[in-house]
Amino acid sequence: MKQQNTPLVTHIFTADPSAHVFNDRLYVYPSHDIPHDGEDNDNGDEYQMRDYHVLSMDDKSDEVIDHGEVLHQDQVPWVSEQLWAPDVVFKNNTYYLVFPARDKDGIFRLGIAEGKSPEGPFTPRSNYIPGSFSIDPCSFLDDDSKVYIYFGGLWGGQLEKYRTGSFDPNGTEPPKDEHAVWPKVALMKEDMSEFATKPQDIVILDENGNELLAGDEDRRYFEDPWMHKYNGKYYFSYSTGTTHKIVYATSDTPTGPFTYQGTILEPVIGWTTHHSIVEYHGKWYLFYHDCEYSKGINHRRCVKYCELSYNPDGSIQTIVPEYK
């Protein structure tokens, strides 16, 4: 495998890695950052991604293969711009690429493109998933073969605009002493055609059973949901956005409520932080991105990975990125 904590590739900028093992190989589904000279803002306008590439690797060599462009926004009839963080799930003998993008009205939706190989290419459906909104889908296949889509992101991701239950273009975050904006989860139908359930809240509690508050920026959800299972428990991990950490909460069920546990990754270089967790040949890995290679340019990110370790009680050991 490539050396840890180094960019997987540098011929393109990559971000938002979703890592999975398919056919005994590690596949990474990242966003593809495009260099430009526009300025950064809180609406995420600097993230102008237009296509997806697939990367893959194994633990026999340090070669990382770029399988090339597997989907471009011009192929997707409902998309106007911004192909952000994708994920992939394998079910029904099909690889489903689940991805967010703005529709023709500038509202983020979640779409699906289908392929017969983990390397792509992927053929997009003509419309987004009905009832979908916001960004950062994580498509989680449970042991009973049900697929759940976890999603949501504040600010550029528009999640706070749905607090009333429908899209309010003027919607804002709650006051600091109210409960935080919750990420969402929806069960997919068996044939993966659409949501089987309406998106519901993922509630995150503190150690006393109280809901995390909007002002608790060290622990509350911002974006980048990921779900994995370890020793039968569900681990829901996410970015705290404004405090730039990857943290996690656990539950006995896939829909929670979840109890906050701690920090997985301390802040990296760059404003955003985004991750996935995967087991490969008996070891656990954290895939993440940072802006070290671009010397801190927020929309020129590189995907990296490192090993992740659990304590005997199931807690995750905090990773502190080391920079020279």
By beta-carbon proximity to ligand FUB, the closer residue of 121 and 153 is 153
Q: How far is CA 214 from CA 197, 206, 221, 295, 318, in A?
A: 26, 13, 9, 32, 23
Q: How far apart are CB 60 and ligand FUB at their closest, in Å? A: 30
* Residue 206 neighbours by CB distance under 10 Å: 14
Q: How far apart are CB 70 and ligand FUB at their closest, in Å? A: 17
- Pick from 7, 153, 199, 270 the residue near ligand FUB by CB under 6 A: 153
- Pick from 13, 27, 29, 47 the residue near ligand FUB by CB under 6 A: 47
C-alpha neighbours within 13 Å on the C-beta side of residue 273: 24
By beta-carbon proximity to ligand FUB, the closer residue of 221 and 259 is 221
210/227 Cα distance (integer angstroms): 22
Q: Applying CB under 6 A, does 109 fall inside the site for ligand FUB?
A: no
Q: Applying CB under 6 A, does 223 fall inside the site for ligand FUB?
A: yes
C-alpha neighbours within 13 Å on the C-beta side of residue 207: 2
By beta-carbon proximity to ligand FUB, the closer residue of 135 and 204 is 135
127/246 Cα distance (integer angstroms): 32
Any idea which residues carry the catalytic annotation? 16, 223
- Pick from 18, 31, 139, 250 the residue near ligand FUB by CB under 6 A: 31
Q: How far apart are CB 46 and ligand FUB at their closest, in Å? A: 9
Could you write out the three-class secondary structure of 169-218?
CCCCCCCCCCECCCCEEEEECCCCCCECCCCEECCEECCCCCECECCCCC
**Contact status, residue 18 vs residue 86, Cβ threshold 8 Å:** yes
By beta-carbon proximity to ligand FUB, the closer residue of 49 and 57 is 49
159/309 Cα distance (integer angstroms): 32
Q: Applying CB under 6 A, does 272 fall inside the site for ligand FUB?
A: yes
Q: Applying CB under 6 A, does 135 fall inside the site for ligand FUB?
A: yes
Q: Applying CB under 6 A, does 238 fall inside the site for ligand FUB?
A: no
- Pick from 87, 103, 224, 290 the residue near ligand FUB by CB under 6 A: 224
Q: What is the dihedral of CA 136, 194, 131, 249, to 10 degrees?
A: -40
By beta-carbon proximity to ligand FUB, the closer residue of 18 and 259 is 18
Q: Applying CB under 6 A, does 15 fall inside the site for ligand FUB?
A: yes
**Three-class SS state of 161:** helix
Encoded tokens for 90: 């394998």
The beta-strand segments (E) located in 104-175 are 108-115, 123-124, 138-141, 147-151
Q: Applying CB under 6 A, does 274 fall inside the site for ligand FUB?
A: yes
Q: Applying CB under 6 A, does 46 fall inside the site for ligand FUB?
A: no
By beta-carbon proximity to ligand FUB, the closer residue of 31 and 259 is 31
- Pick from 79, 85, 89, 204 the residue near ligand FUB by CB under 6 A: 85
Q: How far apart are CB 49 and ligand FUB at their closest, in Å? A: 7
- Residue found by looking up tokens 């920079």 in the block: 323
Interface residue list for ligand FUB (CB under 6 A):
15-16, 31, 44, 47, 84-85, 135-136, 153, 223-224, 272, 274
